[in-house]
Structure 1
């Protein structure tokens, strides 16, 4: 089991374990500007998010945390400090929330 996996497999959706970064510090994604998600993370034609809009930021993070299958996506698209700040506002599947909170206890109290 890799350092980024938790002891229990929490599912992002049926049949797919949630991917969790090993540390919040390694998440160095942008904190402002426009971000376009790759098709593998969002199949919609409108995949560009303005991070200055709180609703768009939350929607982007929810998609990235739910759909990521490789650590580079997490590292490049999610910012650890921002994630802590918005954690309680994110609408995430139970498995995603449990996986991240199990690995990063600081998110529970964020």
Structure 2
């Protein structure tokens, strides 16, 4: 994890050269909470891009991918739901940097674990 300096804030990387994108508030995440959701190829390039949010494992899988791959706040807002994110947060398999960045911005997620 990067160490903050006096002049530079901590930057968490989802992968080399890609900073983690974090929503400003959980309330702005107003994505679907049930039904079928098709992710664009940019967020999911697997064989099936449709996720059934009624299935807990598929919902978690979609959230993990969006949290790792999003590069625009609108992607987070479109596909994630704030209360659902808090509920499933402990079960998500995320890179350490992604988890750290989101928990630093939203302490409520840290307490959900």
Return the TM-score normalized by structure 1: 0.93
Structure 2 runs not aligned, ≥5 long: 1-8
Of structures 1 and 2, the larger Rg is shown by 2
Aligned pairs, number: 104
- 100, 106, 109: which is aligned to 2:108? 106
User: C-alpha distance in 2, partners of 1:90/1:13?
Assistant: 17
Aligned-residue RMSD, C-alpha: 0.6
User: C-alpha distance in 1, partners of 2:110/2:86?
Assistant: 9
String of CA shifts for 1:45-78, please: whole Å, max 9, x gaps. 3110000000000000000000000000000100
- 42, 45, 48: which is aligned to 1:46? 48
3-state secondary structure, aligned to 1:109: helix
Kindly report structure 1 stretches of 4+ aligned residues shifted beyond 3 Å: none
3-state secondary structure, aligned to 2:14: strand
Give the match for residue 58 of structure 2: 56
Deviation at 1:95, TM superposition (A): 0.5
Structure 1 runs not aligned, ≥5 long: 1-6
String of CA shifts for 1:16-61, please: whole Å, max 9, x gaps. 0000000000000000000000000011131100000000000000
